[in-house]
Amino acid sequence: MTMSELREERISVGEGHDARDIAALIRPARTVGRPGTVWLGGYRSDMAGSKAEAICAHQASLGAGSVRFDYSGHGVSGGEFTDGTISRWLEESLAVFDRFADGPQILVGSSMGGWIALRMAQELKARGQDDRIAGIVLIAPAPDFTAELMEPELTDEQRRALDTQGYFEEPTPYGPDPNVYTKALFDDGRENRVLDGVIDLNAPVTIIQGMEDPDVPWKHALRLVEHLPSTNVDVQLIRDGDHRLSRPEDIARILAAIDRVAEAA
C-alpha cells in the first residue's frame, strides 16, 4: 500500500501576546476503520524522535492516520520554552486534536506527554467527546511529576532559586543544555493534578514502564493504576527498560500495544 503524504501544518494557539505558532506533522488515513494516533511528547522532546517516527510509519503502513506536533518552546514550534506550563501545552494539544484529528484516536503519551494525555481525555470527556478516544498508550508516564517526583527532592538552593528568580536549572543526560524548571510550571502543575482522585476514563489504557528508569520510578506507574477505576488497564513492566524506551524491542512493544487497542476499537 502506498503511504499517504506527510503534511506539514502550522496553527496559532492563544491570542495577542499569548499567541504561539504550533508546528504539526499530519499523515491522513487512507482507509477507514482503524483509529488514528496522536503523539504527545515529553518535556523538551520533539516530534522527530524515534518513537514518534516509528508510530507514524507503522500507522501509514496500515493506511491509518497519525498526528504529531511540537509544544510551544519545543522543536520547531514557536514560543518560549520557559513560558510553558501543563495548562499551556494542554491547550495546544487540544487545539491540534480539534484541528487535525479525524474520528477516534489513540493518545500516545510519553513521560510528561502521559500526563497531558490523561488531562486531554478528561477535558474531552467533560465536553461529551470521550467517544473520540479509542484508547490511551502511556510510555513511562509522569503524571503530576512536578508535585510528586520533583518537589519532595528539591534542594534548599533550588527552592530559593524558584522564589527569587522564578526558575532553576538542572543538568540532563539527554542533551548538552540543562533542563529549566520554572515556578509557573510547579504552580500550574498543582492545578492539573490527576493523582488526587479517580481518573474516570472510558477508554482502555496501556502503560509501558521501564524498571531501570532513573527519572520516573516504576512504582509511580503502579500508583497511577490505583487512580484508574477501569478494569481495562494493562501494565507492562520492562525489567531492563530505561526512561526513553527507544530500543527496537521497546518500540515493538509500543506498536503492539497500539495495534491491540486499534483491533479492539
What CATH number does residue 249 fall under? 3.40.50.1820
> Beta-carbon neighbour count of residue 166 at 10 Å?
11
The reply to whether 180 falls in a domain is no
Please give the pLDDT value at position 3: 62
The reply to whether 13 falls in a domain is yes
**Which neighbouring-strand residues pair with 23?**
10
Please give the pLDDT value at position 245: 98
The reply to whether 102 falls in a domain is yes
Domain that residue 221 falls in: 7-143+197-264
**Which neighbouring-strand residues pair with 141?**
none
Q: Which regions of the chain are under pLDDT 70? A: 1-4
- The answer to whether the CB of 31 falls within 8 A of the CB of 63 is yes
The reply to whether 188 falls in a domain is no
Within 8 A by CB and 6+ apart from 46, the residues are: 70, 74, 75, 76
- The answer to whether the CB of 198 falls within 8 A of the CB of 227 is yes
Overall number of domains in the chain: 1
54 by Cβ neighbours in 10 Å (0-12 / 13-18 / 19+) ranks as middle
The reply to whether 148 falls in a domain is no
The reply to whether 175 falls in a domain is no
The reply to whether 216 falls in a domain is yes
Please give the pLDDT value at position 1: 43
- The answer to whether the CB of 66 falls within 8 A of the CB of 96 is no
The reply to whether 163 falls in a domain is no
Cell reading at 48: 522527530
**CA quadruple 124, 129, 134, 137: dihedral, nearest 10:** 0
DSSP 57: H
DSSP SS3 for 256 = helix
For the chain, how big is the Rg over CA atoms in Å?
Answer: 18
Cell reading at 232: 481495562
Please give the pLDDT value at position 2: 53
Q: In what order do the strands lie in the sheet with 66-69?
A: 7-13, 20-27, 66-69, 36-40, 105-110, 133-139, 205-210, 233-238
